[in-house]
Structure 1
Amino acid sequence: MPREYKTILLCVLTIYITSLVLGVEETQEYDECADLNNTTWLEYRQQRVKLQVQYLLLTRRNVDCAQMFNQESLTITQSSYFNISRPTKVIIHGYRALGNKPSWVKELARALLRAQDVNVLVVDWVYGASFAYNLVVENYKEVAVQISVLINQLQKHGCKLESFHFIGVSLGAHVAGFVGTLFEGKIGRITALDPAGPMFKGADTFDRLDPSDAQFVDAIHTDADYFGISIPVGHVDFYLNGGKDQTGCARSRFASMYGYVICDHMRALHVYMSALNGSCPLIGIPCFSYEDFLNGHCVNCDVFKGRCPTIGLSEKNGITISPIPKEQKLFLLTTSSPPFCSHHILLELEVSPLDKSAEVQVKLRTANLGKEQRLRLQTDKTVYRTMLGHAAALCEIDSIEVKNTGARFYRQGDIHIKSVCLSEVPSLRREEPLCVNNIHISRGAPWSHDFVQVCDLF
């Protein structure tokens, strides 16, 4: 059995048990409010369920009570909350292993409506998205065709293609991409939240999301080694923590089933919803690879003329240059919980030549937290650079501690550090690096230095 199908079977089993434990299915708040569908394995086996696509409308006027929306809704404007003069966000869910409706849809819709006064259309294709993943993939283009019919009708009533912003989660990202293909890339924007990888990693651009599908395509990658796709699919692709293993998600099968199976995959959605609240910026740094990023080789956004892209609803992620580069990889570090923002602190260490290898531990401290990093020092290298994710900004760091920790495994006794410097990447406030020079550290004896600085975050 191919590895991808084993992965899907594992997903189905573990999500089923998780749903029993966590109770992921929602109940309707009001009987008269529309809701997404559920389906069952029995209905699927008996072939009673055909591919059905329905649409739910949410606006600031009915944020807590979705309205069923279809072509007929457009002809009865007095009974529809849809406003043709406003932009439209289209949410498309992905694969539903158990046939249950996605529990996050209302939360995402509310976050969008808090941020902007828009129409939010939710595409409900649960009937065609459930159980057998390979058959679901066969359905996704037909779903896109049905969506395109509605978009055509909305155009006839005055909506502009550039006013549509599709937000696709997992397989939903490729559905959005094919809608964009049908409209020859004239749709305004597509945002892909960890676009699906199985059966798409080697697909032609016609069969998967790519930058030509909309005037602007951005993607967030959080599970590129499992359920997500690893290759860039947009104009800009944000790779959180390298795009694979996310902080706070379980790395063991013996941990929580949700944490092991879909935590990484769903992190893109949760980070995006957090970004919509605007509590802190989630900034991506352009770089060739995650390794280069961690090694401090990428510290600016010159390719965007100095303005780094940010996750969220800002136009083209804040990019002002034209034309926009395609398939530009952006890397950023995040924390394990909302609002997920992490400051990128570049640590630069220069040491005098060593006779033997060594190891040092560097700790950055603030009033209520600390961050440590271990560096292995080699005899043929004197300059070390590494990127750290820290909850505090550079100006909030109170002290730095350096300790020679090589007593047990290494024989280097004393280490002479020519300089140790900290700088924030990107430097939003044009701060000077924090540097300390000429440090002598004996084995097992920590050295520390306090910084006296004024922190102006505004």
Structure 2
Amino acid sequence: MNNINSVGSSVKQGGKPNRGAMDIKQAAVLWSLILMLSTSSLGNKICYGELGCLVTDEGWHSIAHRPFNPTPYRREEIGTVFKLFSRHKRHGVVFSPNNIGGNSLRVFNPTKNTKIIIHGFRSNADSVWVTNMTNVFLERDDLNVITVNWANGAGSLYVKAVSNARVVGLEVAFLINKLIENHNANPGTFHIIGHSLGAHIAGYAGSRVDGLGRITGLDPAGLGFTRMPSYVRLDRLDAEFVDIIHTDAEFVGLGLVEAVGDVDFFPNGGYHQKGCRWPMIRKWSAILKLRFLFENLLPCSHTRSQELFIESIKSSPYLNTEGRSTSNSCHLVGFLCHTYEDFVNGQCTSCGNDGLGCALMGIDADKYPGKRKRNGPRKFYLVTNSSPPYCGHHYAMNVTVAAYPRESDAASGDIIAAINGRDGSVSTAHFTPKLRTMKPGETHTILGFSDVDIRQVYAARVTWSWKPNTLLKYFCLSCIQNLLVSHLSVTNMEYNSNSIVETKAACTTWKTPIYLASDKPRDVLLVC
């Protein structure tokens, strides 16, 4: 998005044969009514006093992707409330941009970094995740933390909340500009973290603040924003650095599928997070405003982004060691890849000599060495656990299948490895997220994931499980059940606090290929 200099610019502001003719006419009338209702505010300039004005033109409307575009609430109806927290005021101070003096000014320190947290649809600033994030930030660093409560605007019907979000964006931008103008705050020290609709609010605010430091979008809302112009949604030009965490980005999900930041992270592919169920029910419960279903089923994939970001703060190696989680030594490392399928198939296991192939998801995403190179979206993929701590360790196994006496034969199944480290640690990792057919002479690189970091790889107990389809299992007399391996290596991708993701490999090549008998573990000494 570009900065808004004038109202009106295309930037953010904000049967039977004889019944056929009748059916067409009825459909035309129906669509005309829908169009009239959905575009009732097109071309209108809506002003909010000192906040500025919004213009709704045809760019904010799409019959396919954004058919409803109602006029937002009045500013007073939304009633946005800001609350400022610091290590000296852990309970917070309510303030407004025009009364930042007095007690609230003593809480706000313009020399410190400022985090602004914005909730999404049908939520509020007293939500558990907002409170937890505020507390974790203050435990790890001496900051200004500002929460934005727009519960009245977010509690309406979804299509209305989408419009209200634009007004809240004006409010946030007005606040930041006031702090910059009146209290000499540096715009580069502001970091807005928004979830769902809150992510787009962050974008609206960023488009009106020159030099805003950073925006983090936590699963930005997709309904009404997918395939829309960049000024309608959060965009990578809304701040000096924009990072996105996609956790419900699918057709039946609530998140935005498109990569819109400088770096976009897609944990577990960016959709249907581990331990989550029924994405279609979550989506329609939100649309139909079914409170019970929405509150009990929605806080899964869509809100997992909140939990992942909070975990990244707890375990960050860059923030002050005070308050750092001692029970979580791993990090959320994403790997640059074209697709999630390529990632789980082991095609993106190297960070490269320049380190551009890996990035930390969450609070430390801004440490990515290539963040200033804005030559297109960068997608990073990773695997997580289904419960805290969500982080884990990625491994890559490289397997070369030896030539069989009958070269046309192949084996299909799973590989599981209990990997041993030189320090005695053991990690059990599944290396086949889906069944593989391995033909003689082929080399496969397969991704594995485990909770345990075994550091320097030393040995592995490898189990091959033959898993053909049902017919082959009972009627194939010449199927290859054992895997004949001529080469096997395991790579541990371990995060280093010097912002380098190292790859430590251990491998072996046998003069005589060995059999991995089906369902019989075999100890393999891995020596480089």
* TM-score interval for Structure 1 and Structure 2 normalised by the shorter chain: 0.7 to 0.9
CA deviation map 1:169-213 (0-9, x unaligned): 1110000001111225x2000011111111111111001011100
Amino acid across the alignment from 2:489: C
1:143 aligned onto 2:164:
no
Q: Secondary structure at the match of 2:455?
A: helix
Q: Is the 8 A contact 1:357 1:376 kept in 2?
A: no
Closer, same or farther: CA 50–322 of 1 in aligned 2, 3 Å: closer
1:440 aligned onto 2:514:
yes
State how far apart, in whole Å, the 1-side matches of 2:484 and 2:125 are: 61
Closer, same or farther: CA 79–349 of 1 in aligned 2, 3 Å: closer
Q: 1:401 aligns with which of 458, 462, 469?
A: 462
State how far apart, in whole Å, the 1-side matches of 2:100 and 2:301 are: 39
1:154 match:
179
Structure possessing the higher radius of gyration over alpha carbons: 2
Q: Is the 8 A contact 1:394 1:423 kept in 2?
A: no
1:122 match:
147
Alignment gaps of 5+ in structure 2: 1-73, 283-291, 316-327, 420-424, 496-500
State how far apart, in whole Å, the 2-side matches of 1:159 and 1:383 are: 56
State how far apart, in whole Å, the 1-side matches of 2:229 and 2:412 are: 47
TM-score relative to the length of structure 2: 0.69
Amino acid across the alignment from 1:144: G
TM-score relative to the length of structure 1: 0.79
Q: Is the 8 A contact 1:365 1:399 kept in 2?
A: yes
Q: Secondary structure at the match of 1:431?
A: strand
1:341 aligned onto 2:398:
no
2:242 match:
217
1:66 Cα deviation after fit: 1.9
Deviates more, 1:68-77 or 1:192-201: 68-77
CA deviation map 1:281-328 (0-9, x unaligned): 211111111111111111223495457321233372342664355421
Closer, same or farther: CA 96–389 of 1 in aligned 2, 3 Å: same
Q: Is the 8 A contact 2:429 2:450 kept in 1?
A: yes
State how far apart, in whole Å, the 2-side matches of 1:211 and 1:193 are: 14
State how far apart, in whole Å, the 1-side matches of 2:116 and 2:281 are: 37
Percent of residue pairs identical = 27
State how far apart, in whole Å, the 1-side matches of 2:526 and 2:443 are: 26
Closer, same or farther: CA 369–314 of 1 in aligned 2, 3 Å: closer
Q: Secondary structure at the match of 1:347?
A: strand
1:330 aligned onto 2:403:
no
1:426 Cα deviation after fit: 6.3
Closer, same or farther: CA 339–249 of 1 in aligned 2, 3 Å: same
Alpha-carbon RMSD across the aligned residues, in angstroms, is 3.2
1:134 Cα deviation after fit: 0.4
1:8 match:
none
Q: Secondary structure at the match of 2:363?
A: coil
Describe how 1:30-429 pairs up with structure 2 within 5 A.
Answer: 50-63=77-90, 65-77=91-103, 80-96=106-122, 101-155=126-180, 156-184=182-210, 186-225=211-250, 226-250=253-277, 260-278=297-315, 279=328, 280-302=330-352, 305-306=355-356, 308-314=358-364, 316-319=366-369, 322-353=372-403, 354-365=407-418, 370-374=428-432, 375-379=435-439, 382-395=442-455, 399-406=460-467, 409-410=472-473, 411=476, 412-413=479-480, 414-425=482-493, 428-429=501-502
Deviates more, 1:215-224 or 1:318-327: 318-327
2:45 match:
none
State how far apart, in whole Å, the 1-side matches of 2:516 and 2:188 are: 63
Closer, same or farther: CA 432–357 of 1 in aligned 2, 3 Å: closer
State how far apart, in whole Å, the 1-side matches of 2:110 and 2:340 are: 43
Amino acid across the alignment from 2:298: V
Q: Is the 8 A contact 1:189 1:217 kept in 2?
A: yes
Closer, same or farther: CA 319–325 of 1 in aligned 2, 3 Å: farther
State how far apart, in whole Å, the 2-side matches of 1:363 and 1:391 are: 14
Amino acid across the alignment from 1:347: M
Q: Is the 8 A contact 1:211 1:326 kept in 2?
A: no
Closer, same or farther: CA 246–259 of 1 in aligned 2, 3 Å: farther
Closer, same or farther: CA 187–445 of 1 in aligned 2, 3 Å: closer
CA deviation map 1:83-108 (0-9, x unaligned): 122111110111017x7952321111
1:150 Cα deviation after fit: 1.5
Q: Secondary structure at the match of 1:285?
A: strand
Alignment gaps of 5+ in structure 1: 1-46, 454-458
Q: Is the 8 A contact 1:333 1:389 kept in 2?
A: yes
